[in-house]
Amino acid sequence: MRRYLPFAPLTAAFALALILTAARGAQAQDAAAGAKVFNQCKSCHVVAAGAKSTLGPNLFGVVGRAAAAVDGFRYSPSMKEKAAGGLVWNDEKLRAYLINPKAVVPGGNMSFAGLKNEQQVTDLLAYIGTLK
């Protein structure tokens, strides 16, 4: 039994790596599935380069963009305040906003309550990330 003890840390590390890989696989990004999730957003948002915004701002190129930065779109005072505070739409901020828009921008105009399914959020972020 003692001769197997030197391998115990290696075995534990391997088991941990398998667990972490499986957990990451459960949250794999699927841009095609995200495009389907985006169908919920199409009534207010467009995602085409140079397209005119509708009820919501054009989301083409939103990842990495400063908040309230689409020319010609009338943002809420709350969103303008967040923009003045330096809000940039990175994956972390977009994830939080997609889950609960009012928590990220209290008083904002977004009428959508948020996505409750974590996989849908992950897939939607993958899709939005392709729009460059």
Q: What is the pLDDT of residue 47?
A: 97
Our count of domains for the chain comes to 1
Domain CATH code at residue 111: 1.10.760.10
Q: Within a domain: residue 20?
A: no
Query: Which of 95, 49, 45 lies closest to 73 in space, CA to CA?
Result: 45
pTM of the model: 0.78
Q: Within a domain: residue 57?
A: yes
8 A C-beta contact, residue 38 and residue 112: no
Structural domain span for residue 89: 29-129
Q: Within a domain: residue 17?
A: no
Q: Within a domain: residue 8?
A: no
Q: Within a domain: residue 101?
A: yes
Per-residue pLDDT tens over the stretch 82-91: 999 999 999 9
Q: Which residues are registered as beta bridge partners of 66?
A: 88
> Rg (Cα) of the chain, in Å, rounded?
20
Per-residue pLDDT tens over the stretch 6-21: 554 444 444 444 444 4
